[in-house]
């Protein structure tokens, strides 16, 4: 997790936390299926942390992020976090995900982007 943050925001240590571009959620490294766990919990993670972007996240599942890049994910749901938590968990199964692998140095992030890792 530290590697992706430092790659996306090299000056992060010199900035105030409220100006950070990347927010993160727990790593899913202990899960047998980290991708599906992250997708399933993305809407609920957004509800728990309003600084997260409701429709986009970056997924780091490679050992060498500089060389292999990260996965940019559009969740395909409306981003309405003001629903019952059980309903938010069901949303992911109906979401129409769009993904694209991108080199880290080409990623343009905006405030509240959700970052997770499987490595």
pLDDT-derived band at 11 (thresholds 50, 70, 90) equals: confident
Interval 82-103: pLDDT, tens: 999 999 988 877 888 888 888 7
pLDDT of 20: 67
Interval 40-61: pLDDT, tens: 888 888 888 877 888 888 888 7
* Chain-centroid distance, C-alpha 28: 11
Residue with the larger pLDDT of the pair 54 and 22:
54
């Amino acid at each position: 997790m530290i590697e992706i943050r430092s790659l996306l925001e090299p000056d992060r240590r010199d900035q105030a936390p409220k100006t950070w571009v990347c927010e993160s959620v727990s790593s899913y490294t202990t899960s047998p299926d980290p991708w599906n766990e992250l997708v399933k919990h993305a809407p609920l993670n957004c509800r728990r942390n309003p600084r997260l972007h409701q429709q986009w996240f970056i997924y780091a599942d490679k050992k060498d992020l500089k060389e292999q890049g990260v996965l940019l994910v559009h969740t395909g749901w409306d981003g309405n976090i003001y629903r019952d938590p059980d309903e938010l968990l069901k949303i992911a199964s109906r979401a129409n995900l769009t993904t694209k692998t991108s080199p880290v140095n080409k990623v343009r992030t905006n405030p509240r982007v959700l970052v997770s890792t499987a490595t």
